[in-house]
Amino acid sequence: MSDHVSAQSVSLRNDTVGRQLNMEKLTTVIYPCITFIALLVIWEGSVTLFRVPDYIFPHIMPVLRVLYAGYVEGEMYPHLAYTLKSTLIGYSLGCTLAIIIGASLAESRTFEKFVFPLIIALQSTPKVAVAPLIMIWCGYGISSKIVMVATMCFFPLFVNTVTGIRQTDPAMVNMMRAFSAPGWLTFYRVKIFGAAGHIFAGLQISIVFALLGAVVGEFVGAASGLGWLIQSAMVSFNTPMMFAAILSLIVLGLVGTAIVRFIHRRVVFWERSSGTTAH
């Protein structure tokens, strides 16, 4: 009898715990939605209330109309594709280089001495300032955008790769040495995996930088792309178009980040189980 009662109270407690968990999940979805809706209401309300003209700050409706024309009727796709293409190619290029050069620099003191001052100088260069130069060197086609993207997303990932590899637990490296492991094995078995959390964090930061690079490249000179769309809309005070393009860029950034985060959690599974997920 008493067993029965205690079993019941246990299941009761489990129920409340379960309910709390569900509430927790629900609120993490609902609360940001409320914030978002509130923002839309404030936006529409104040634009209407203060009679702000559309060319300064558009109502929601014209923006939706542009989005509809853009993504349902398809006017936006060529631009989206152009920006996406330069971003993806440039991102892959910049990130590959960042990981290779970062890893070599972290591993080889000699290489570090050769290139470190150069990299510091490049890192402190405002990358946007060299965009016009890149146009002259690479032309107004997509290659200049690719180079711009690669330049922008190189440094965050480069820094993270170096830090990640340098922070390898010395006890692990000693362990490998004690078993006569050659350097390449220690690098492959210990350092790369040990740095994986940092590298993925860098990959995530680099996504935003990559989009920034693509947009700047298109600002400086292009014939299509979301950045070009924003700039040409500026000339005609087409703010709804600008809003629509900016929204598209935000979505690109969010989707890219979500994808990298998903892969991060899949690949770096051991950090999750020890409760130290890197964001």
Question: Least CB distance from residue 201 to other proteins, whole Å?
Answer: 17
Residue 274 makes contact with other proteins by CB under 8 A: yes
Q: Which is nearer to other proteins, 131 or 199 (CB)?
A: 199
Question: Least CB distance from residue 21 to other proteins, whole Å?
Answer: 23
Residue 263 makes contact with other proteins by CB under 8 A: no
Question: Least CB distance from residue 187 to other proteins, whole Å?
Answer: 13
Look up residue 179 and give its amino acid: F
Alpha helices in the chain (DSSP H): 2-49, 60-71, 77-107, 109-123, 131-138, 142-166, 170-178, 183-186, 192-220, 226-235, 239-267, 269-273
Is the four-CA dihedral 257, 70, 244, 40 of positive or negative sign? Answer: negative
Binding mask 194-233 for other proteins (x = CB under 8 A): --x-------------------------------------
Binding mask 151-190 for other proteins (x = CB under 8 A): ------------------x-xx-xxxxxxxxx--x---xx
Beta carbons within 8 Å of 63's beta carbon, 6+ residues apart: 240, 243, 244, 247
Residue whose pair of structure tokens reads 């939706």 in the numeric block: 64
Residue 273 makes contact with other proteins by CB under 8 A: yes
213, 153 Cβ separation under 8 angstroms: yes
Q: Which residues bind other proteins (CB under 8 A)?
A: 169, 171-172, 174-182, 185, 189-190, 193, 196, 269-271, 273-274
